A and B are shown apart, each in its own frame.
Chain A
Amino acid sequence: MEYKNVTGCIYDIQGYAVHDGPGIRTTVYTKGCPLRCLWCHSPESQHQEFELGYLPVKCIGADICQNACINACPEKAITRGEPVEATDKPGLMQKAKIDRSRCTNCLKCTEVCITKALYSSGWETTVDEVYERVMKDRGFFQNGGGITISGGEAMAQFAFTYNLAKKLKDSGIHICLDTSGYAATELYAKILPYIDLFLYDIKHMDSLMHKKLTGVGNELILKNARFLAEHKAALQIRVPVIPRLNDKETNLRQTAEFCVTLGSAVKLVQLLPYHKTGRTKYDRLGWRYKLPHLEPPDDDFMHKVLELFQSYGLNCQLH
């Protein structure tokens, strides 16, 4: 089969992904994204290359594993940390400490870490392998569930995403594509027949602001949205509501107006309040979170936003 050996880089596959489209879904998360949204809650999704992730809570201390990671590191980037209280018995333990300035993400340490406290932020896989895995969940997909291909930006690994969607479609699975809209229009044209529903983000209507917040302008994104609408795609527009960054009334109104212009292609507009759950993921990669002081919007405000969108006759929900 043509897609048998098509490879891709992914960082997770999750069942019961209740926020990624209708019904019970299993979501495949691909690695690599052309955008750099300030509020990004999946930092491990940004680069297609694998990085070293570290979850200190899983480290059992260098005494027990006999310096496994320290010995494995060719760059001498890992040392014994300060003694801390051991978790499973009285006494002290020394967990691994990573000098990120020396680390080259060679990931040799992840191969020897028994507890997977040191892990790779993703793995390379094939369409077939992913297909086998997600099809195990098929029993849950009845009544409107299915597979969501998300990212990162799934369109950035087009061959992989395209072939996976095609293969799943052949098996009669409902497929959502969660996309930023930032990819060449002809690629959307090509994948369109295999996608039942696009989960499509609109982050800001002003291109300059969009560039400030995400690193890229919005022209291509808006163009692709219009293209998909004109070609009878089904769209679920997702609007992240980020306090101070895109929640001004004018922007919200322009966003709603834009959704209206897309006509009947828009099945639903979901309003996604900013949340902080991604913060700890930055620590695992040794990165800095860019919005440390930002708080989620309160319920009252979100209900006002909902009413505003509803006043345009759009089918909306808070998510």
Chain B
Amino acid sequence: MTTTFMSKFDLPISERIKALKEKRERINKDMRLNFERNRIITEYYKNHEKEYPILKRAGFLYEWCATREINIDDDDIFLGDGGPRCRTVHFDIEQTSQTWIRSCFGDTDERFRAAWQVPGSVWVDDEDRQWILEAADYWKDKDIAATARGLFPPEFFERMGPFVEHLAGSYPGHFNPNYERAVTVGFGAVRRTALEKLEEIRKHTTADNVRSELFYRAIIKVCDGMILMSKRYAEACRKKAETAPTPERRAELLRMADSCDWIIENPARNLWEALQTMLFYQYLLIADGTHWADSPGLIDSFLGPILENDLKNGTLTPEQAQELFDAYLLQVGNQIIMFPKPTNDQLIEAHENGKTFFDLQGGAQNIAAGSLITIGGQKADGSGDYNLATEMMLLSYYRLRVAEPSLALRINKHTPDRIWELAIACSIRSGGMPQFNNDDVIIQTMLDKGVPLEDARRYAIFGCVEPAVSGKEWSMAANCGGFGGGASLVDILQYVIYGNVNPMTGAKGMLPCKKLYEYESFEELQAEFERQIKHYLDYQARLYHFAALVFNHEWPCLSASVMTEGCIESGKDVTWGGAKYNGMGSMFSAVGSVADSLMTIKKLCFDDKTVSTKELYDALCANWEGYELLRQRILNEVPFYGNDLDEPDAIMQWFTNFYADYYNSRPGVNNGTNNCGALDLYWVAAGKRAWATPDGRKAGEPLSHSSDPRQSAVKNGPLAYVKSVAKLPWDKMRCGGAINVRLDANSVRSEDAISKVRKLIEAYFAMGGIQFHFTVADTEVLRAAQKNPEDYKDLIVRIAGFSAYFTHLPFDMQEDYINRVELGV
């Protein structure tokens, strides 16, 4: 959908970039898992069982740097990959479920081959299969889940069964690594500081600093490993140069070799070196633990001056710079983490239907390792932070139409018109890239957490929508990170209605309570709802604190600690609370379903008294069978959230405020803050686990998405929709939350479309909203894409906190997206 006003951004991409894009497409049909990293860690841990956990981790990372296979492809603009070859699928054996490994690779030969040895999809060698089964035996009582088993209280297992191991059995991830330090300071300087600190401790060892000595020794080891890895790449470049097909490529490889000898140890001297440093560091982060969503924050801020210097001294042309940004994005996007881990049944079924392993990965949320890049914003002194790198990053997204990594743009009064224009054009074309973030409110939420103003101004987004101080905060978003356990408010609603049980799954809640027909008043029901939320959050807090202990005890995260501000300074790993700031997120979801359900109960049963609570309860239990007239009355007569109506919006405000206030006021992990947010990636799946709800929804149907109103409930048009959502207590949503707007293609047809979308975003922000995501997609086009996916490979839509290629989404999510409210006339 290129209109005339947008064509000015539509510059051609280079042949080399085209080739890199094609390479990715090819590899998507030939996926390999990264066994190399898992072999190295297993070997190291076997041979060093008694080594202290943080030294063991450092030893493994050094070994990985020193022995991993290094490959340089013929067309590569940037070197290497997190795995032995481009786009290897990462998974960590020490956090992978034993049950999964055994059920996949311990299956019959025939089923194993039908799942894992299918050309065009995914390939696991017989040798690797044999190896992983043996390795699983080794890790059985030594992996992260085993640590959790060793220290979790019995009640966790009683309540959650085997699922509890899954929760604790994965790295939390979700933070903004300090790429700035890696690029502008380097590992050599960090190593020197660690050495100085170590010498100091040796002089005066105390009970307080003895553990820090081990930490510094580990950091030095990691720095040594990284410096060595960079030099190994230098060597590989020289070797490759010997057989280079052209003199130009030979010269380029020698230049790269020279750079790799310098970078990592020393600060980057030019744009190529800066971007390559970031990639090397990213490979380390992925190898350490599959940190889902390590997110490069505010990178344009330090890349801008380097870029401008290159342009000024004539070592780089603008076209070459643009190509470097293009290649960097593709390279970040090439990192892929296996999630969810498919079962053999799923793989075999997919293969029978002509689908691949890659299709099963379900869109962009797993690719790019969940990374999100934040650009723009403010400097510590409050002035605007936009430069040529900001613009080139946006242009790269516009040109490449990639769904991964995600992109977030910070908006404030300094945002230049040109950036606004480019960002909106980019979002129209690239399906919701970037998302827009409101500095005014987000900086205030940072201040509320106790972050000083200079650091508050340097926030970035990680994961999907979650803000944190870039490079200085060990942050976790509960919903999506390893800790798991964001709250579907619908779970709590079900307990309140059905008497502490979810009729769909039979699962019992934690707190016995009345059934819908036993409440005397709406206020009594509200009080029960609050009591259940509190109880849930208290339990969740215990879960988080114990899960943090798992990592503190045995699973440090050195790749983060080596750069995160606060760790080197304090001598503590991030998992020991070393980061300058610590945060723990809890996300609620299904706001629309819950608000409308409560509104229905209030209006019909208690205000108008036209339906008794017993009748509504019976209708719900019957999944509306025989009660269609009542259901239709509800759908058509009850005032719902999303229409700028006081009553339902007030109900929404009541429970979201209650949740946020209670959660934010509790002490967080590592003595950090608790950060409430509103986001959900699993509303379709969660709907399948939920019985009928009073808003007229039938059992199994999707829930409303994140903080958005229910699709069918929006009747008063787009402005009312936006206004209702703006009424959430966004100033308490320290962990973020976005309005997702799907604009009708017609509404961005005319030449002033960009200015109108801008005004809509500005108005939403002026009303207190913090994040705005929009996609433009025609229902007709989406339907066509379902029929002929091959013709619509580039079609990107914004889903939740992330964008995804539409054709990679599972069918039920495609349907849900098509049914989303379309705004515009």
A contact residues vs B (CB 8 Å cutoff): 14-19, 22-24, 26, 60, 64-66, 88, 114-116, 136-137, 139-140, 142-145, 277, 303, 317-319
Contacts and interface: CB of A to CB of B under 8 A. Distances in A.
A17 B751 contact: no
Interface in B712-745: 716-720, 722-723
Nearest to A15: B719
B632 A60 contact: yes
17 contacts: A15-B717, A16-B823, A16-B824, A19-B747, A24-B763, A64-B628, A65-B632, A114-B637, A136-B719, A137-B719, A139-B723, A140-B719, A140-B722, A142-B766, A143-B759, A143-B762, A319-B749
A136 B649 CA distance: 14
Given A15-B718, A26-B719, A142 B825 contact: no
User: Could you say which of A17, A66, A140 has the most chain B C-beta atoms within 10 Å of its C-beta?
Assistant: A140
A65 B636 CA distance: 13
Given A64-B632, A114-B636, A115-B632, A140 B720 contact: no
A-B pairs, top 4 by smallest CB distance, nearest first, are A15-B719, A16-B718, A140-B763, A15-B717
Given A136-B644, A140-B719, A142-B763, A14 B756 contact: no
A204 B814 CA distance: 45
A115 B636 contact: yes
Contacts of A24: 719, 756, 759-760, 763
A114 B632 contact: yes
Given A114-B632, A116-B636, A317 B723 contact: no
B628 A60 contact: yes
Given A18-B747, A18-B824, A23-B759, A136 B636 contact: no
B113 to A, nearest CB: 40
A123 B610 CA distance: 27
B67 interface: no
Interface string B621-660: 0000000110011011100000010000000000000000
Nearest to B748: A18
A66 B630 CA distance: 13
B767 interface: yes
B762 A14 contact: no
Contacts of B762: 142-143
Interface of B: 4, 628-629, 632-633, 635-637, 644, 716-720, 722-723, 746-747, 749-753, 755-756, 759-760, 762-763, 766-767, 823-825
A28 to B, nearest CB: 13
A16 B717 contact: yes
A312 B47 CA distance: 84
B753 A18 contact: yes
A185 B718 CA distance: 36
B157 to A, nearest CB: 41
Nearest to A113: B636
A136 B717 contact: no
B628 A15 contact: no
Given A15-B720, A17-B825, A139 B756 contact: no
A318 B747 contact: no
Nearest to B763: A140
B636 A18 contact: no
A142 B766 CA distance: 10
A139 B722 CA distance: 11
A140 B746 CA distance: 20
A137 B720 CA distance: 7
Given A15-B720, A23-B756, A60-B632, 7 more contacts: A14-B825, A15-B718, A24-B759, A64-B628, A114-B629, A116-B636, A140-B759
A318 B753 CA distance: 12
B628 A16 contact: no
Contacts of B766: 139, 142
A60 B767 CA distance: 39
Given A16-B760, A16-B824, A64 B629 contact: yes
B628 A139 contact: no
Contact of B723 (A23, A136, A143, A303): A136
Given A114-B629, A114-B633, A137-B719, A18 B756 contact: yes
A17 B752 CA distance: 13
Contacts of B759: 23-24, 140, 142-145
Given A16-B718, A137-B719, A318 B751 contact: yes
A226 B722 CA distance: 41
A12 B716 CA distance: 10
Contacts of A137: 719-720, 723
A66 B633 CA distance: 14
A317 B753 CA distance: 12
Nearest to B766: A139
Contacts of B4: 303, 318
A318 B760 contact: no
A144 B756 CA distance: 10
B756 to A, nearest CB: 5
